[in-house]
């Protein structure tokens, strides 16, 4: 039975992933279009809000720019008109005072002024306002300068001939009132910017972390400075945030649900069923399936199917065991009957040998009897070892075979001894039969040819192999055998060695015959 490790799916990386992870990946891919659509929708909303915010910011900036332009234009017209009158009047006419009073009565922005006469000579000035250095006109009708630190704004007005007509200076507060009076609703800031100089007019609001700042400019006085407006697109509402993170929330919720469904309702019952199946051993009786509480009917059906399979396997195993038992009894009976039949044949040959008056015929009966006895010994030993299923034990087989050979030896070989040195090894019946015949043929050859003794040695040489060596003790004059007997003997022992699939080792001087046999 496979262990959990041996039963793992072997395949691609995807096949080895847990089911819960696969479900999570599939669900994530399924929700991906929804997340992409929500992200694009959020980006579109943000762009739309920004475009709308820019339009609103430009409208607000236009209103404030018109206010500032109108206030500065009124002052410029008044200064130009007063300058023309002052240039034609005498110094004591009181026109300077009336002109300055008129400038002071103008709406915002209020400031300080210097009016010039002919020859770029200052004629009138607000109290405490000293005429500043006048830059060259350079063909422009006016020049504007933001004072250092953004403290105020100074404007120089020129005539068509490039002569200075007047100077107006406004404090920052006056410009701020002119620009933002009356104040407009909205969260925005205003400032005048000229190069690196900045004059704050309305406090710039702090933008939130979820908002986008918008900055728009409006050129003033021929582009010498700009009126800048700062505002911010409204931050994302909780509804917008929810729309953005809704796919993530749905993904998390779906992941939790899938984990509960797959882990608790599907995989956990399957693991319990797997543990029971893995620990089950055939022959232990019916499998004790755990109580599976799962809405998946297939899991319960799977457990019932396995229980039915175990019952079927148990019935088949019982049938197989009964069949094996019947086969064992049948084979045992076959070996028993073959052994008995061989013993009957051996007894009949023995009776014929003793009743024959011809010595040659009696010797022939004895030779046949020895071979039948060898085969009977093999069946008897195989029958004895049948229950253990270890093959034929060669030590008792060769011992019994040696005893039979002594008992059936002819009168001329009655003094021949048979010495045994047998290791306890086992072999199959296909090996035991040619081994028994080989020992019988060589021992009988020694009996017929005058050998003094026969030595049988069986020893293991390596795993699954043993060496059978049979040595015939030769007398001083050597073995004396008829040529027909020698020829027949060599043909038989070579044939038996081939049946054992071994090369016969033969040393006639020593009377040695050896083969390598397979063992169990």
DSSP 3-state percent helix, strand, coil across the chain (nearest 5): 55, 20, 30
24/176: higher pLDDT: 176
As a whole number of angstroms, the distance between CA 145 and CA 134 comes to 11
375/486: higher pLDDT: 486
Q: How do residues 362-389 score in pLDDT, each as one tens digit?
A: 677 677 777 777 777 776 666 555 544 5
Least-confidence region, from 173-182, 263-272, 440-449: 263-272
Q: How do residues 110-135 score in pLDDT, each as one tens digit?
A: 899 999 987 888 888 998 899 999 99
pLDDT of 4 above 50: no
Q: 130, 145, 262: which is closest to 193 by C-alpha? A: 145
Residues in Cβ contact with 56 at an 8 Å cutoff, skipping those fewer than 6 apart: 186, 231
Least-confidence region, from 165-179, 249-263, 380-394: 380-394
CA distance to 95, 316, 384, 392, 423, per residue, from 328 (Å)? 148, 18, 13, 16, 28
**Sequence spans of domains, the chain:** 19-232, 323-518
As a whole number of angstroms, the distance between CA 192 and CA 457 comes to 123
Q: Alpha-carbon torsion 18, 19, 22, 24, what sign?
A: negative
As a whole number of angstroms, the distance between CA 481 and CA 494 comes to 18
Residue percentage of the chain with pLDDT more than 70: 81
CA angle at 285 for the pair 282 and 290, rounded to the nearest 5°:
95
Query: What is the CATH T-level fold of the domain 323-518, as seen in this structure?
Result: Heat Shock Protein 90 (3.30.565)
Question: How far is it between the farthest Cα atoms of the chain?
Answer: 194
Q: First vs last Cα of the chain: how many Å apart?
A: 27
The pLDDT of residue 8: 46
Least-confidence region, from 148-157, 172-181, 306-315, 504-513: 306-315
Torsion region of 391: left, alpha or beta (phi above 0 gives left; psi -120 to 50 gives alpha): left
For 24, the token pair is 């999570």
pLDDT of 10 above 80: no
pLDDT of 476 above 70: no
Q: How do residues 490-512 score in pLDDT, each as one tens digit?
A: 888 888 888 888 888 988 878 88
Q: Alpha-carbon torsion 411, 415, 416, 420, what sign?
A: positive
Mean pLDDT for the chain overall: 80
Q: Where are the beta strands (DSSP E) in 319-475?
A: 392-393, 417-422, 426-427, 453-462, 465-473
For 54, the token pair is 């820019």
Are 473 and 453 in contact, with CB atoms under 8 Å apart?
yes
As a whole number of angstroms, the distance between CA 487 and CA 353 comes to 25
Average pLDDT over residues 238-247: 71
pLDDT of 264 above 60: yes
Q: How do residues 409-447 score in pLDDT, each as one tens digit?
A: 787 777 788 899 999 998 888 888 888 888 888 888 888
């Amino acid at each position: 039975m496979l262990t959990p490790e041996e039963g793992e799916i072997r395949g691609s990386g995807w096949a080895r992933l847990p089911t819960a992870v696969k479900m999570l990946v599939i669900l994530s891919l399924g929700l991906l279009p929804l997340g992409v659509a929500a992200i694009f929708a959020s980006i579109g909303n943000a762009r739309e809000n920004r475009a709308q915010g820019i339009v609103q910011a430009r409208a607000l900036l236009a209103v404030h720019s018109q206010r500032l332009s109108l206030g500065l234009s009124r002052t410029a017209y008044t200064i130009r008109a007063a300058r023309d009158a002052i240039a034609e009047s005498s110094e004591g006419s009181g026109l300077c005072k009336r002109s300055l009073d008129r400038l002071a009565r103008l709406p915002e922005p209020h400031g300080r002024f210097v009016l010039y006469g002919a020859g770029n000579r200052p004629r009138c000035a607000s109290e405490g306002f000293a005429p500043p250095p006048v830059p060259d006109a350079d063909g422009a009708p006016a020049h504007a300068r933001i004072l250092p630190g953004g403290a105020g704004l100074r404007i120089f007005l020129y005539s068509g001939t490039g002569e200075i007509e007047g100077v107006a200076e406004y404090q920052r507060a006056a410009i701020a009132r002119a620009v933002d009076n009356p104040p407009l609703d909205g969260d925005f800031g205003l400032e005048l910017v000229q190069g690196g100089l900045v004059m704050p007019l309305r406090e710039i609001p702090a933008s939130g972390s979820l908002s986008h700042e918008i900055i728009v400019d409006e050129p003033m006085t021929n582009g010498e400075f700009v009126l800048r407006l700062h505002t911010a697109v409204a931050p994302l509402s909780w509804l917008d945030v929810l729309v953005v993170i809704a796919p993530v929330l749905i993904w998390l919720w779906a992941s939790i649900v899938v984990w509960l469904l797959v882990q608790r309702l599907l995989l956990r019952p399957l693991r319990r069923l797997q543990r029971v199946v893995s620990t089950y051993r055939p022959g232990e009786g019916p499998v004790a399936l755990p109580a599976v509480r799962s809405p998946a009917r297939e899991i319960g059906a799977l457990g019932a199917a396995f229980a039915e399979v175990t019952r079927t396997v148990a019935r088949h195993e019982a049938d197989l065991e009964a069949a094996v038992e019947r086969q064992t009894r049948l084979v045992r009976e076959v070996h028993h009957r073959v052994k008995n039949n061989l013993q009957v044949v051996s007894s009949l040959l023995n009776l014929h040998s003793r009743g024959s008056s011809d010595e040659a015929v009696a010797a022939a009966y004895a030779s046949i009897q020895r071979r039948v006895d060898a085969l009977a010994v093999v069946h008897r030993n195989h029958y004895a070892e049948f229950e253990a299923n270890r093959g034929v034990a060669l030590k008792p087989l060769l011992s019994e075979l040696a005893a039979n050979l002594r008992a059936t030896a002819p009168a001329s070989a009655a003094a021949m001894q048979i010495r045994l040195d047998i290791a306890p090894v086992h072999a199959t019946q296909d090996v035991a039969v040619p081994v028994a015949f080989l020992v019988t043929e060589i021992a009988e050859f020694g009996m017929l040819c005058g050998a003094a003794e026969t030595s049988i040695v069986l020893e293991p040489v390596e795993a699954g192999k043993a060496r059978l060596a049979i040595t015939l003790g030769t007398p001083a004059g050597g073995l004396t055998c008829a040529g027909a007997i020698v020829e027949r003997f060599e043909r038989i022992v070579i044939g038996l060695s081939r049946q054992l699939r071994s090369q016969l080792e033969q040393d006639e001087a020593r009377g040695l015959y050896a083969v390598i046999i397979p063992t169990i």
